[in-house]
Amino acid sequence: MYRLQKTYYFEVFMEYKATLMSGDDIDRALKRIAHQIIEKNHGLEKICLVGIRTRGVPLAQRLQRHIEAIEGVRVPVGELDITLYRDDLSRVGEMPEVKGSNVDFSIEDKIVVLVDDVIYTSRTARAALEAIMKLGRPSKVQLCVLVDRGHTELPIHPNYVGKNIPTSVDEVVAVRLQETDDENAVKLFVM
C-alpha cells in the first residue's frame, strides 16, 4: 500500500531548493528555546504557551514537553485561531475556514508565549496579539518562532528564534511537522 504525500500549492508551482533544518535540528532548537524561556522569565510560575494555528500548536506542545523535562513543571498550552483578526481577510475568500481557539485557562496577569512556525512580514503576529488581547490582559506577551526569515513589515520581532534564515521574497520557507505533515523538516522552495 502506498501512502499519499500531502502536496501544497507552493510545491506544485515552485522548485525545491534545500532542506534547511532536519527533524533533529528542529528538536535541538526547541530544547534551546525551552531553556531560554525558563531563564528569561526566572522560572515558570506565570508562563503559558499559546500556539498559533496551524503549526504553532504542535510546536507549543513540543516546547511544553521540553520545559517539563527540564523543570518538572507542565505549563498550560492553548490554541489560537487568528483567522478573523487577519488584515487580509477580504483576500482570503468569502468564507474563510475558522477552526476556533482553545485557551481553557486564564491569561490574566500571565506571561503568554505566542508560538508560531515562521515569521515573515509580522502580520500573523499582529493578528495573534489582537486575538490574545480579546481573551484577557496578560502581564507580558512574548513571541517564539522556529524560523525568522526576515522581511518584517511591522515593528514586531520575536523574543525566541530557533533559526534565522535570510530569504528573498521569491522564496518560501515550509515548516513540515510530523503532527500535521507526516515529516519533520524545514524546506526552502523558490519561484
User: How many structural domains comprise the chain?
Assistant: 1
Q: Is residue 177 in a domain?
A: no
Q: Is residue 82 in a domain?
A: yes
Position 19 scores a pLDDT of 97
Q: Which residues of the chain have a pLDDT value below 50? A: 1-6, 90, 92
Position 148 scores a pLDDT of 98
CA dihedral 153, 157, 158, 161 (to 10 degrees): 80
Domain, as residue range, for 152: 24-166
Q: Is residue 63 in a domain?
A: yes
Q: For residues 121 and 128, what is the distance between their CA atoms, to the nearest angstrom?
A: 13
* C-alpha cell of residue 83: 483567522
Q: Is residue 111 in a domain?
A: yes
Q: Is residue 185 in a domain?
A: no
Predicted model pTM: 0.90
Position 84 scores a pLDDT of 85
Position 169 scores a pLDDT of 93
At residue 163, what are phi and psi to the nearest 5 degrees? -155, 135
Cα dist. 52→2, 33, 168 in Å?
Answer: 32, 17, 24
Our measurement of the distance from residue 107's CA atom to the centroid of its chain's CA atoms, rounded to an integer in Å, reads 18
